[in-house]
Chains A and B, each alone.
Chain A
Amino acid sequence: MTTKIIISGSESPLLRRGLGEAISIQHISKSYKEVQAVRDISLEVQKGELFGLIGPDGAGKTTLMRILMTLLIQDKGEATMGGFDVVKDYKKIRNMVGYMPGRFSLYQDLTVEENLNFFATVFKTTVAENYELIRDIYVQIEPFKNRLAGKLSGGMKQKLALSCALIHKPEILILDEPTTGVDAVSRKEFWEMLKKLQQKGITILVSTPYMDEATLCNRVALMQKGKVLDIDTPRNLVDGYTRKLYAIRSNQMHHLIQDLRSYEKTDSAYAFGQYLHVTGKDDEVEATEFENFLMKKDHENLEVFDIQPTIEDVFMELLHEG
């Protein structure tokens, strides 16, 4: 469903605006007591880029973002935002970066309007001054401007939080899992808003555990257990996947995955929605071989066919290798 956006996303702004780095991360490490949350991560986000940190919970996405937001100090390494060091120049960074934490962090007992005014004042500006930037988003919640923020729906809260993060016209926007816990329609709307903001020249770093959202970014970093597994455009990542991939289903899915994993010619088998995505050892296993094996195991309504890989397949493959 998102193929069209992949193309428009991966070609242009990066090349067009390639005016240098907005965010630069060099060998950053951070531990909490015994847990090493981030291990020697290096990556660069270009100006005007929409960059995604993709990975499951515990991948280190939030920690990395908090270091960039000057809320945490790294153990090792260096990072700059808009050319400013996150440790030394933290005051400058706070003036030019907008942040939306993973958890809704506005005042629940203030109204929509009061929250917006409050954060505008704290940034020494006014809502009127930067209304242009937030107009598209704010008009959607304006009818509820006298409602307490705590009484808004999930999607509304998220729009309010985004408005507050944009109120001081930041150059860089950092969004920590903005779409977690939000319904599918609101998620789609949210990404459209991000695209519009990107067109206004804002560099966006966004994290998400949803693989399908990765395709909406210009480039993504696939993260797992505090490490970056790969960084590239979603298109290149998918293109780089050269394995032969099968989608398989039967009417006994639970047994199917167990049977496939016990089969000596199976390399990997993962559940992807209604199907299992399966690779064979050395990519030399034919579809008919799987079929014959599974027929013997009494699977009915069996379907086996070739399938194009997605980002998630790439991610699983990277995990499997590691």
Chain B
Amino acid sequence: MKTIFYVIQKEFIQVKRNKVMLRMIVMIPLLQMLVLVFAATYDLKNVDIFLVDKDLSSTSRELAGKLEASPFFTINNTSFDPEDGEKELLRNADEMVLVIPRGFERDLIRDDKASLQLLVNAIDGQAAQLGYSYAASVIRDFNKNIIAEWKGLPEFNAPFQINTVSRFWYNSELEYKWYMAPGVLAILVTLIGLFLSGMSLVKEKEQGTIEQLNVTPIKKIQFLTGKLIPFVVIALFDLSFGLLIAKVVFNLPIVGSLWLVFGFGILYLLGILGLGLLISTVADTQQQVMFVTYFFMMIFILMGGIFTPVDSMPHWAQLVNEANPVFHFMKVMRMVVLKGSNFGDLIHEFVALCILGFTFLSLAVWRYRKTA
């Protein structure tokens, strides 16, 4: 026990003396929470529309007015030539071109139907989809109203309509920051845990101190435990710090139990630190650790569902995600923080994280033995 305590003490002293490390521990949560959460938003704002109104009728103007009135759209430019619009799309100056053909109003009155053309810049598929559906709903609304108006029916008493009332649960205002914050917290814990543990063992190798330690009677398990505990503490500190920022800055509602968040945090960290150790037993220099860790981070995070819903990934990717600790932890974070899920709801994640943690840790211990 005393040996482990001394190893822990030694690790803390080393972290304390490492000014870069100290700054990272404080700055990473601040930056990630304040920058990433704000930046990685899918809230639709300010879609610039290029309007080609060849009809110039009162109906076409009314439609344009409806779009302009929506908080999401700005009519940026107008022209009579759709090609001008296409050019603007190419330049990335506008995201959408709405073409109202000549005779739009006439067709609508005479034939009861008319067409519009909507060109959407789909470089960013997600944004395009979102912009398109917002625009389409404005147009649909407009359509519904003119039918009612022309048929002389009161606007709010239109017949033959199924009215869907939707309510979004757990995040009723679709506050994107609330969705992002738990995910970013999961990334934060991963980043800190993986880098700290990966670096620390390889640093002992680089400096040759491992050679001196290997000839002492210290047991591997004592050494590794003593090494890991400080990083669990530091990562949990960052998790609390991040949660505090989310609470204060975004007013993130923390519905579930904090015990559950931290309990899963510890379980998750054991796996992540195990992976970090495993990487550093294989690598010889801190540089190599950086590369390999970065590679794992990229895959874990992008697969883990921070930006894209895992449910819409192909089936094989969802299977692969079972081996992705970030995926499970991110899910736990979102479920507990936003939904207030209890342990019973998280059995699957619990088992998965246990298996992953056990695998990474035992591989690391096994590898460490071989290199010694």
Contacts and interface: CB of A to CB of B under 8 A. Distances in A.
Interface of A: 69-71, 91, 94-95, 97, 99, 101, 103-110, 114, 117-119, 121-124, 148, 164
B216 A109 contact: no
A118 B216 CA distance: 11
Nearest to A120: B6
A91 B217 contact: yes
B10 A110 contact: yes
Contacts of B212: 99, 101, 105-106, 119, 164
Contact of A119 (B14, B211, B216): B216
Contacts of A108: 207
B208 A109 contact: no
Nearest to A114: B13
Contact of A99 (B215, B217, B372): B215
Given A91-B217, A95-B217, A122-B217, A107 B10 contact: yes
B2 interface: yes
Contact of B208 (A105, A110, A114, A122): A105
Contacts, number: 63
B214 interface: yes
Contact of A110 (B3, B13, B211, B214): B13
B335 to A, nearest CB: 41
Contacts of A124: 2-3, 217
A122 B216 contact: yes
B35 to A, nearest CB: 31
Closest 4 A/B residue pairs (Cβ): A105-B208, A105-B212, A121-B6, A122-B216
B14 A123 contact: no
A101 B211 contact: yes
Contact of B18 (A104, A109, A121): A109
Nearest to A98: B215
B6 A107 contact: no
Given A99-B215, A122-B213, A148-B17, 13 more contacts: A69-B215, A94-B216, A95-B217, A101-B211, A105-B208, A106-B209, A107-B14, A118-B6, A118-B10, A119-B216, A121-B2, A122-B6, A123-B217
Contacts of B10: 107, 110, 114, 118
A101 to B, nearest CB: 5
20 contacts: A69-B215, A71-B372, A99-B215, A101-B211, A103-B208, A105-B207, A105-B208, A106-B209, A107-B10, A108-B207, A109-B17, A110-B10, A110-B13, A118-B6, A119-B212, A121-B3, A122-B6, A123-B217, A124-B2, A124-B217
A106 B215 CA distance: 13
B215 A123 contact: no
Considering residues A71, A101, A121, which has the most beta carbons from chain B within 10 angstroms of its beta carbon? A121
Nearest to B204: A107
Interface string B74-86: 0000000000000
- Interface size class, chain B: 20 to 34
B299 interface: no
B218 interface: yes
Nearest to B9: A118
A228 to B, nearest CB: 24
Contacts of A101: 208, 211-212
Nearest to A167: B216
A91 B372 CA distance: 13
Interface string B214-239: 11111000000000000000000000
A107 B212 CA distance: 10
Contacts of B3: 121-122, 124
A107 B215 contact: no
B14 A122 contact: no
A104 B212 CA distance: 9
A59 B207 CA distance: 24
A91 B216 CA distance: 9
A122 B5 CA distance: 10
A65 to B, nearest CB: 11
Contacts of B13: 109-110, 114
Nearest to B372: A71
Given A99-B215, A114-B10, A107 B209 contact: yes
A71 B214 contact: yes
B218 A97 contact: no
Interface in B242-290: none
A219 to B, nearest CB: 24
B229 to A, nearest CB: 16
A64 B215 CA distance: 15
Contacts of B215: 69-71, 94, 97, 99
A103 B17 CA distance: 23
A5 to B, nearest CB: 30
Given A121-B3, A121-B6, A107 B216 contact: no
A94 B217 contact: yes
Contacts of B6: 117-118, 121-122
Nearest to A69: B215
A47 to B, nearest CB: 20
Contacts of A97: 215
A207 to B, nearest CB: 15
Contacts of B372: 71
Contacts of A114: 10, 13
Nearest to A161: B212
A218 to B, nearest CB: 24
B213 A110 contact: no
Contact of A105 (B2, B209, B217): B209
A99 B217 CA distance: 13
A104 B211 CA distance: 10
B311 to A, nearest CB: 47
A71 B216 contact: no
Contacts of B211: 71, 101, 103, 105
Contacts of B209: 105-107
Contacts of A104: 208
Contacts of A121: 2-3, 6
